[in-house]
């Protein structure tokens, strides 16, 4: 099974479980089915966005801890500057 098939399968499973809860095919107490289940997609979206922002921030924070990537990026910047200078663009 490829990673795409696995992701689609998990997505369909979660979606069908949510729909079964939302349509009250699986009985739950009234408070849960009226107050919590309708906002689960928004909660999941906000949680996923927060997780991605944390990963991005942590990656930026620890960027200097990866010396090979830092050196490679600096070489690419120097190459781009040299290329732009040969084309007559002034770069500071």
pLDDT tens-digit series, residues 16-66: 999 999 999 988 898 888 899 999 999 999 999 999 999 999 988 887 667
What letter does residue 24 receive in the DSSP assignment?
Answer: T
Place of tokens 């200097």: 64
Which of the four pLDDT bands, split at 50, 70 and 90, describes residue 10? Answer: very high
Q: Which residue's structure tokens are 């979206």?
A: 45
- Which residue in the block uniquely carries the two structure tokens 């399968």? 9
Q: What is the mean pLDDT of residues 68-89?
A: 91
3-22 and 40-61 helices cross at what angle (nearest 10)?
140
Enumerate the domain spans of the chain: 3-87
Q: Give the model's pLDDT for residue 62.
A: 84
Structure tokens at 51: 């997780």
């Amino acid at each position: 099974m490829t990673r795409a098939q696995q992701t689609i399968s998990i997505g369909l499973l979660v979606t069908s479980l949510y729909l079964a809860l939302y349509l009250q095919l699986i009985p739950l107490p009234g408070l849960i089915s009226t107050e919590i289940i309708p906002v689960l997609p928004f909660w999941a979206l906000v949680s996923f966005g927060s997780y991605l922002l944390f990963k991005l921030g942590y990656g930026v924070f620890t960027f200097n801890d990866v010396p090979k990537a830092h050196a490679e990026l600096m070489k690419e910047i120097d190459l781009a500057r040299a290329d732009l200078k040969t084309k007559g663009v002034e770069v500071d």
